Amino acid sequence: MAKARLLVELDVKPEEADAFTEMFKAEFISRSRKEQGCEQYELWRDTDNPSKMTIVEVWSSAEDLDVHLAQDWFGFWAPKMEAAQATPLVVRRLVSSEE
């Protein structure tokens, strides 16, 4: 079964970047890493512009990723995430060309 990967690019309002990072670690990372099939779930910040961020996710299967994306808690936290963004998310769902 092929792993599923998700890359999410965020452009957070500069004045919200630090608070967003703390909220994301506390709410998204802490929950997601406990889910079945989560192999990697990280938030990366650009070294030249820390308000530009990338979420890197690796899941054991597409099914595990689908279950993750359907979690009820997203309904509460997604609007908070959106409010901190300067531009819309760029989401890339990936599968390895080697699998």
Q: What integer pLDDT is reported at residue 99 of this predicted model?
A: 64
Q: What integer pLDDT is reported at residue 35 of this predicted model?
A: 96
CATH assignment of 4-94, given 3.90.550.10, 3.30.70.100, 1.10.8.290, 3.20.20.140? 3.30.70.100
Q: What integer pLDDT is reported at residue 95 of this predicted model?
A: 81
What is the C-alpha radius of gyration for the chain, rounded to an integer number of angstroms? 14
Q: What is the spatial distance between Cα 69 and Cα 63, in angstroms, rounded to a whole number?
A: 10
Contacts with 61 (C-beta within 8 Å, 6 or more apart), sequence order? 1, 2, 3, 4, 37
Q: What is the spatial distance between Cα 53 and Cα 47, in angstroms, rounded to a whole number?
A: 10
- Residue ranges of domains in the chain: 4-94
| pTM > 0.75 | yes
Residues of the chain with confidence (pLDDT) below 70: 1, 98-99
| CB of 59 closer than 8 Å to CB of 38 | yes
